Amino acid sequence: MTATTVGFIGLGFMGRPMALNIMKKGHRLVVHDVDQGAVDALVARGATAAGSPREVAAAADIVITMLPDGPDVEKVALGPDGIAEGLGQDALHVDMSTIAPSTTRRIGEAYAKRGLHLIDCPVGKTQDHAVAGTLTLMAGGDAAQVERARPVLMCMGDTLFHCGDLGAGETIKLVNNRLAATIIGAVSEALVTGTKAGLSLDLMREVMGTTMAANAHLSINMPKKSLLGDFTPGFMVALAQKDVRLAQALAAELGVDSPVGAVTLDLLGRASEAGMAREDVGALLKLFEQQAGVEVRLPAAGAS
């Protein structure tokens, strides 16, 4: 594989392991973040630091952004000393943040006027998958540019979908994340209700696993984390809340009634207000437990 100079802006919870995997696969890495400690940690592993998004773009063939929300991406892309001021016409900006599709398209229109290239490629799964390099990648934009980015993108994930025009990746990410958050909320409510009624967790999982109630949260995700009392973040409540908020806004723009999403957004808001914003989204189980006065747990691994 030919080595590429990749710029990476946004070295947070997900961005840092993603950037490390790019470097581990032999690409040169130029990094920038508002947190100098995050930059220093990557430099210690072999990356080169840049003082601004413009400097990152000027040094890179492909620039990746992994930022909290749309205003952050717009500022980094189009603001003073931003990516657009340094990006060459032969280079490419890949935004892997989860933001509103309309924001992605607005940035894309501004880029097109300058002859610059942008694709969106948000990611699915958790930080554990970011570390392992097995994220699901959802790209939107020009097919040739998506293929151009593929060798770098596949350093971070094991599945890449080209979902359509610019903004399509963001659209499927928001639809997916709203559904995922809704499912974990519903599973948590069901398990707490059953436990309060005297049913065993083993029985509920066994029965539900054979019916149309079966789902990956119940069978895979929750037994590894929340049902063991582990609420360390794999995907934070605050991020789920932001994604569902954006999904609800998208539905409203399209004229789609979304009462289930509204309930999920309210539930995530209640979890945040209860001090769980930076915990794993599995903390929705804890929210129901605290209200009901019961605890739903599997025996810890190795317990007698």
- Write out the catalytic residue numbers: 173
Half-sphere exposure at residue 102, Cβ-oriented, CA atoms within 13 angstroms: 8
Half-sphere exposure at residue 272, Cβ-oriented, CA atoms within 13 angstroms: 14
Beta strands 5-9 and 28-32 are parallel
238 Cβ contact list (under 8 Å, min separation 6): 272, 277, 278
Beta strands 123-124 and 118-120 are unpaired
Contact criterion met (CB below 8 Å) for 6 and 31: no
**Per DSSP, what are the bridge partners of residue 62?**
6, 92
> What are the helix and strand counts (H, E) for the chain?
15, 9
**Per DSSP, what are the bridge partners of residue 157?**
135
Cα distance between residue 138 and residue 92, in whole Å: 17
State how far the alpha carbon of 168 is from the alpha carbons of 161, 255, 263, in Å: 10, 18, 25
Q: Which residue's structure tokens are 């929300």?
A: 69
Cα distance between residue 292 and residue 273, in whole Å: 18
Contacts of residues 264-269 at CB distance under 8 Å and 24 or more positions apart, as own/partner, are 264/178, 264/181, 264/182, 264/185, 265/241, 267/185, 268/181, 268/185, 268/237, 268/240, 268/241, 268/244, 269/241
Report which secondary-structure segment, H or E, holds 95. Answer: strand 92-95
